Chains A and B, each alone.
Chain A
Amino acid sequence: MISLDRRIVSGILPALVLVGALLSGCATTESKVDPLEPFNRTMYKVHTTIDDAIIKPVAQGYVKVTPAPVRTSVANFFGNIDDLFSGINDVLQGNGNRAGDAFGRVLLNTTFGIAGIFDLASMMGINKDPNDFGLTFGKWGAPQGPYLFVPLFGPTTVRDGSGWLVRLYTGPANYINDIGVRNSLYGLGYLNARAQALDAESVLDAASLDRYLYLRNAYLRARRYQLYEGKPPPDADDQ
């Protein structure tokens, strides 16, 4: 999952979440999880066209020219912000232990880890444990809603996409007044996230006959697993 330039996201993502929510009301369901499949496949094509032409080459270039320790620092910096939101959502889900670990990580890494660029907490054995608003909404009983593929953002659902909107409008970068600095941060965050996805993407390419379906199913299964904290109840897919 990717943090995006706010101007792009604030246009595309809400529109799609809204469209998804509206269409889900009247869609004749072919697939229960993906009633908007034809629409999503079009969006997926739009995405791959832009991604192949611009974003992926830039991300590959970033990996090529930037020394690994620098990339690790960039990843840690944004990972530290992710940890802050993990902690907030741990609290919203009433999980004090996980919240303690997450806020402990943020505290350590922000201070002794110099604004998060060193992940000291992991070295000390306080491990990363991601959490987000989409999972909080799920725990509060919100339905998953239709699957959505959002260009430049990736796979999501109405519930997870709504979670991202909340995150976007509460994100710490909103408190930065210098628009240039803020947009540079969003840009770097996006590049970092895209570069981190390159490895998984090469496995996806090698594994799948239909990338759209493989990605959709993997996304939904992984989110379900996260929602149930590693112990999802058995369903039709399990044998």
Chain B
Amino acid sequence: MLTRMIATLMGALLSLSLAAPAAWAQEAPDALVKRVADDVLNTIRGDKDIQAGNQAKVKQLIESKLAPNFDFTRMTSLALGRNWRTATPAQQTQLTDQFRTLLVRTYSGALSNYRDNTMNYKPMRMNPGDTDVVVRTEVTRPGQSAVPIDYSMEKMPDGWKAYDVVVAGVSLVTNYRDEFNGIVQKSGVDGLIKALTDKNQGPAPPPPVAK
């Protein structure tokens, strides 16, 4: 009797430990967005330093919880459009590093303001074989009209990753295309790498206005 119980328990534990990573990898894209967003919002709400605009802590939050869920290489290639193919692999790596830094810096300035936001998730239709989907959400703040935010997601070997974020119709990625194209036309891919590096080494963005 006891041995059977132990065997069952062992079996249950074993299947659990085997099942867990598999379930993790198969986490649906909308579930992933919800889990990460809830996690980040809860962290902001529970952390006075972040609410006060402590940039080191905000950056740590972004690096540990948000950034791993984005495909920055694809984002950079989208922002460059047709110029991406003219860049060497080494230049592409540099561009991706700098663009990633720019995005993290930009949105770490804004993140501490998000405490009062509520996220709603719209139902998603998805077929079993899909590898590219859009997760639609809506952010509401008291007294203001709702802001739709869409995440374009692709299936990667290590789970779903976001490669575009579209806020009320404005892509935070492709909105750069004209800017980047103008710089590449004028001073080449290296000129763009330099412009991005200069921007990233410039003064940190000012903290958001106190609410």
Chain A residues packing against B (C-beta within 8 Å): 60, 63-64, 68, 72, 75-76, 79, 119, 122, 127-130, 198-199, 202-203, 205-210, 213-214, 216-218, 221-222, 224-226, 230, 232, 237-239
Give Cα A202–Cα B169 distance, bound, in whole angstroms.
Answer: 19
Partner of A127, one of B110, B145, B177: B145
Tell whether, in the assembled complex, residue B144 and residue A128 are in contact, meaning their CB atoms are under 8 Å apart: yes
B152 to chain A, nearest CB (A): 9
**In the complex with contacts A127-B146, A209-B199, A225-B168, A203-B209 CB distance below 8 A:** no
Interface of A is mostly: helix
Query: Is B105 close to A, CB under 8 A?
Result: yes
Among B113, B178, B205, chain A packs the most CB atoms within 10 A around the CB of: B178
B interface list, Cβ under 8 A from A: 78, 102, 105-107, 109-110, 113, 140, 142-146, 148, 168-172, 174-180, 182-183, 195-196, 199, 205-206, 208-211
- A63-B210 in contact (CB<8A): yes
Q: Which of A72, A210, A239 contacts B143 (CB 8 A)?
A: A72
Q: Does B145 lie within 8 Å of A202, measured CB to CB?
A: no
Contact yes or no, B209 A63, CB < 8 A:
yes
Complex CA distance for A63 and B210, rounded to whole angstroms:
8
Are the C-beta atoms of B195 and A209 separated by less than 8 Å? yes
Q: In the bound complex, do residue B145 and residue A221 qualify as a contact, i.e. CB atoms below 8 Å apart?
A: no
B170 in contact with A221 (CB, 8 Å):
yes
Asked if residues B208 and A199 are in contact (CB atoms below 8 Å), the reply is yes
Asked if B102 and A225 make an inter-chain contact with CB atoms under 8 angstroms apart, the answer reads no
* CB pair A221 B209 closer than 8 Å: no
A202 touches B148 (CB 8 A): no
In the complex, the chain B residue whose C-beta lies closest to that of A75 is: B143
Bound Cα distance from A72 to B144, whole angstroms: 10
Q: Which residues of A contact B177 (CB under 8 A)?
A: 217, 237
Q: A68-B211, A218-B175 are in contact. Are A209 and B145 (CB under 8 A)?
A: no
Interface centre among B102, B143, B169, B182 (most CB of A within 10 A): B169
Known: A122-B142, A206-B106, A207-B106. A239 touches B170 (CB 8 A): no
Residues of the B chain whose Cβ atoms lie less than 8 Å from the Cβ of A119: 143
B109 near A129 with CB under 8 A, answer no
Q: Complex: how many Å from CA A225 to CA B175?
A: 14
Query: Nearest chain A CB to B98's CB is how many angstroms away?
Result: 11
Shortest beta-carbon distance, A80 to chain B, in Å?
11
Beta-carbon nearest neighbor of B77 in chain A: A239
Closest 10 CB pairs of A and B: A225-B169, A206-B205, A128-B145, A206-B106, A207-B106, A218-B170, A221-B170, A210-B179, A213-B179, A198-B209
Minimal beta-carbon separation of B117 from chain A (angstroms): 13
B210 to chain A, nearest CB (A): 7
Contact A129 B145 (CB under 8 A): yes
Cβ of A224 and Cβ of B209 under 8 Å apart? no
A232 and B178 form a contact (CB under 8 A): no
CA distance in complex: A185, B80 (Å): 45
Question: From residue B169, how far is it (CB to closest CB) to chain A in Å?
Answer: 2
B169 to A226, Cβ gap below 8 A?
A: yes
> Distance in Å from the Cβ of A196 to the closest Cβ of chain B?
9
